[in-house]
Homo-oligomer: A and B are copies of this chain.
C-alpha cells in the first residue's frame, strides 16, 4: 500500500511509521517536517497535498493541537484552537481525501482517552475527541467506493509521562508502539466506523 502519514514526526507518528513501514510505502507529512508539508486547518492546503502526493491507499493522522486550561477561565477563542486544528484539521483530510483515495482506501484519525474519561483542564480535549469519534461513526456510512474510516483513541503515552504525568494520575500509560498497532488494525484490517481505544 501507499500510506500518507500526517504527523509523522511526533511520538505516535514515528511509531506508526515504524510499524507500517515494514510492509508498506509511507509518505510522511507534517506542518514543518516530513516529505510533504501541510496546514491541516486550511482545506486548500490539504487539497494541494493530495494533488502533490497523488492517489494513496490510506491516510493515517497522528497530529492535532488543542488548548488545556481550567474551565473557569476557558474562552471561546481557546476552544476554537482545538475545533479548528485537531477536529477540523482531520475532517479536512476526509473532505479532500474522499475524492482521491483509491477504492477501498482508509482514513485513520486520532482522538484520545479524554473523550469519555475526563481530567481537570481537559474540557476542550473531551469536546474535540468526542466530536472526532461522532464524526467518524457518521462519515463511515456515507463514504463512497468502499472507503473506510476509524479513530484511534490512545490514553496517555508512556513516552509523555514525564511531561503530562501529573495531569493523568492513576491512568495506565501505553507505549506509542501499542498505539501504532491500532493504526495497523485500521489500515490493514477491514473495519469501518470504529473507535480503537488503546488503554
Interface residues of A (CB under 8 A from B): 43, 70-72, 74-76, 79, 83, 87-88, 91-92, 94-95, 98-99, 114-116, 118-123, 125-135, 137-144
The answer to whether A142 and B92 touch (CB under 8 A), given A116-B137, A127-B135, A134-B130, is: no
Tell me if B138 and A126 are in contact (CB < 8 A). yes
Tell me if B79 and A88 are in contact (CB < 8 A). yes
Tell me if A70 and B135 are in contact (CB < 8 A). no
Tell me if A72 and B43 are in contact (CB < 8 A). no
The smallest beta-carbon distance between A123 and chain B, in angstroms, is 4
Known: A74-B95, A114-B138. 18 other contacts (CB 8 A): A43-B76, A71-B139, A75-B95, A76-B95, A87-B131, A116-B137, A118-B134, A118-B141, A120-B141, A123-B135, A123-B142, A127-B131, A127-B138, A128-B131, A128-B134, A130-B131, A130-B135, A130-B137
The smallest beta-carbon distance between A195 and chain B, in angstroms, is 10
Q: How far is the CA of A130 from the CA of B136 in the complex (A)?
A: 11
**Cβ-closest chain B residue relative to A127:** B135
